[in-house]
Amino acid sequence: MSVQYGKVVSLILLERFGPVVEKVGTYLYQYGTVPLLYIKKNTNLPLSKVKEALCILIKYRLVTFTPNRNENIANYTLQHDRVLLTLRYAKYINLIKKKFGNECEMIVEELLQRSYWTASELILKVIERIKRDHNKIVTILALREKFFSLVTAQYLIRLPFSREDKPVPNLILEESEQFVPPPIDLKKMTSVQNNSEPVDSLPDKDVYWTVNFDRFHQDMRDKLIVNAFTKKFDENGGEFVRLLLQQMYMRTSPWAEVSNPVPIVEIRDIVRKQATHQHLLAFFDQYVNVLG
């Protein structure tokens, strides 16, 4: 990796977290996967400061850890590509605001600021913020549905967790569990909101959620593809490709190099039902031939 890339990573860490975290992150960028004592020795920082910096970087998913050969010591690795993603946070928030509205925008913004949160605590935080900043009342039920819509659309993803008690935990999560809505008890949340019950009483207190960056990048990529076809042909050509991508995701992984076949009949039926692109419907076969 280039020196310039490393300078950008260091500047982002310095601006976002301060000099101590930047020093630890820069060392990890330069030397790769290393244990705690190596970081302390080569950065000349107190052990407590190194631990604090690593905790911050792990919290924001900028550093990952794996057990050493004896499984009692952790090796730490900087995820430098995720450091660069912090520059896109404003784009993520704007995308959600356009697609889902202000409440969902606040949910994503709070998650990006904190990195992870339980669904119940996040909902209560956003309700408090809306009441304070906008002088509006939003019900827990309404905001819970907003949260569920983000999970269903896969913009939020559950964090992996440790299933065994080990010195260096192995964080795992089955693919089938990534987007399963958490248990949210409206009565308990109301009690917590009124300070009559502690936060620990919430049923999802151990289920943490974070932002699924891949889903945002999928949207950004698709927008570039649709815009390219719109410029090359016209608005109807762009709409055809948008629908093709939409139907493709029902059969194929979003990041697969080649999709499974999509029946043209399906796309024609969608165009007919939408009734918003009559020119595309009238010359559908011609568009298929030209775009093919």
Tens digits of pLDDT across the chain (292 residues): 688 999 999 999 999 999 999 999 999 999 999 999 999 999 999 999 999 999 999 999 999 999 988 778 999 999 999 999 999 999 999 999 999 999 999 999 999 999 999 999 999 999 999 988 878 888 999 999 999 999 999 999 999 988 888 888 888 888 899 999 999 999 999 999 888 888 888 999 999 999 999 999 999 999 999 999 999 999 999 999 999 999 999 899 888 888 899 999 999 999 999 888 889 989 999 988 988 7
Q: Does domain 3-78 have CATH number 1.10.10.10?
A: yes
User: What CATH number matches the domain at 215-291, 1.10.3470, 1.10.10, 3.40.50, 1.10.150?
Assistant: 1.10.10
User: What CATH number matches the domain at 86-211, 3.90.600.10, 1.10.10.10, 1.20.1530.20, 4.10.490.10?
Assistant: 1.10.10.10
CA dist 100 → 142, 145, 148, 180, 241 (Å):
13, 11, 12, 20, 23
Q: What ranges do the domains of the chain cover?
A: 3-78, 86-211, 215-291
Sequence-distant (6+) residues with CB within 8 A of 78 are: 9, 25, 28, 29, 57, 62, 63
Matching fold, domains 86-211 and 215-291? yes
Provide the H-helix boundaries in the chain: 3-17, 19-31, 36-43, 47-59, 80-85, 89-100, 102-114, 119-134, 140-152, 186-193, 213-232, 235-248, 264-274, 278-282, 284-291
- pTM over cut 0.75: yes
